[in-house]
Amino acid sequence: GENVEQHPSTLSVQEGDSAVIKCTYSDSASNYFPWYKQELGKGPQLIIDIRSNVGEKKDQRIAVTLNKTAKHFSLHITETQPEDSAVYFCAARGGNTGFQKLVFGTGTRLLVSP
Amino acid sequence: KAGVTQTPRYLIKTRGQQVTLSCSPISGHRSVSWYQQTPGQGLQFLFEYFSETQRNKGNFPGRFSGRQFSNSRSEMNVSTLELGDSALYLCASSPRGLNQETQYFGPGTRLLVL
């Protein structure tokens, strides 16, 4: 089955710096890669996703890149702000049938210091 | 549209008891997935329901079960609770549960087993 690895487990940056979180997946048939942000006491909130027919997607300060050959994808946050502090999860889904479970990485705790 | 709602938000039970958690998906969404989130194991897939049928199942013991009603609302049940069942239980909904559809999470039910 699918396995998703996520690094780093914790990331501390200064406000205004960029943050990069990386994930690798094992199943070459995976074709959907969402990123979720989870704040304390809340459920995961989708912040951006990418599908396998696209190499990069950007939404304001957030971007995701996908390298299908290497089977890895990354989240890039520019101009970080204290409110970006949260746990971020990557996930992968897809396969040879139409209904597959979403497999999550282990999460990255991002701390943005003012 | 209202988001995914889960009730109750918090529960305290003792070992050996059973518990039922409820999830109401986003209006129009027919797929509901359940996840268990713990510090040690991260986000793990429990099962997915679509049109009142369980379509996918994770690697959890038979004590964990679920069902879905004709209005797409879903419940999950855990019988004979163990200490290790203490976790945040999340449900997520999507229109049809297809591989490339976005899943939207609820706030979760935090279960503490004493």
Residue of B nearest to A43 (CA): B107
ω before B61 within 30° of 0 (cis)? no
Exposure class string for B44-65: b at 16+ Cβ within 10 A, else e:
bbbbbbbeeeebbebebeeebb
Residues 6+ apart with CB under 8 A from B86: B38, B111, B112, B113
Nearest to B23 by CA among B7, B10, B12, B36: B7
pLDDT of residue A53: 79
**For chain B, percent of residues with pLDDT exceeding 90:** 87
Q: Mind telling me how many Å the CA of B28 is from chain A's nearest CA? A: 18
Between B108 and A53, where is the model more confident?
B108
Cross-chain residue pair A34–B56, CB shorter than 8 Å: no
pLDDT of residue B101: 84
Q: What is the average per-residue pLDDT within B66-84? A: 97
Cross-chain residue pair A34–B102, CB shorter than 8 Å: yes
Contact assessment for residue B47 and residue B33, using Cβ atoms and an 8 Å cutoff: yes
Cross-chain residue pair B103–A46, CB shorter than 8 Å: yes
Residues 6+ apart with CB under 8 A from A40: A86
Residue of B nearest to A106 (CA): B42
At residue B15 the predicted structure's pLDDT band, cuts being 50, 70 and 90, is very high
pLDDT of residue B23: 98
From A45, A102, A107, residue closest to B42, measured CB to CB: A107
| Interface with chain B: mutation pick from A3, A53, A101, highest number of B CBs within 10 Å | A101
How many other CB atoms are there within 10 angstroms of residue A96's CB atom?
A: 7
Between B25 and A41, where is the model more confident?
B25
From B99, B102, B107, residue closest to A31, measured CB to CB: B99
DSSP assignments along A30-97, one per residue? EEEEEEEEE-TTS--EEEEEEETT-SEEEETTEEEEEETTTTEEEEEE-S--GGG-EEEEEEEEE-SS
Cross-chain residue pair B106–A43, CB shorter than 8 Å: yes
pLDDT of residue A62: 98
The CA distance from B93 to A88, in Å, is 19
> How many Cβ pairs closer than 8 A exist between chain A and B?
63
A87 contacts chain B (CB < 8 A)? no
pLDDT of residue B96: 86
At residue B22 the predicted structure's pLDDT band, cuts being 50, 70 and 90, is very high
Strand-pair category, B87-94 with B109-113? antiparallel
User: Does the pLDDT at position A29 exceed 90?
Assistant: no
The CA distance from B100 to A68, in Å, is 16
Residue pLDDT, tens place only, B51-65: 999 998 999 999 999
B70 contacts chain A (CB < 8 A)? no
pLDDT of residue A97: 66
Cross-chain residue pair A46–B102, CB shorter than 8 Å: yes
Q: What is the average per-residue pLDDT within A15-34? A: 94
The CA distance from A90 to A71, in Å, is 13
Q: What is the average per-residue pLDDT within B42-47? A: 93
Q: Which phi and psi angles does A71 have, rounded to 5°?
A: 55, 50
* Burial class of residue A57, CB neighbours in 10 A (0-12, 13-18, 19+): middle
Nearest to B48 by CA among B82, B23, B71: B23
pLDDT of residue B99: 74
At residue B40 the predicted structure's pLDDT band, cuts being 50, 70 and 90, is confident
At residue B108 the predicted structure's pLDDT band, cuts being 50, 70 and 90, is very high
**Rg (alpha carbons) of chain B, rounded to whole number:** 13
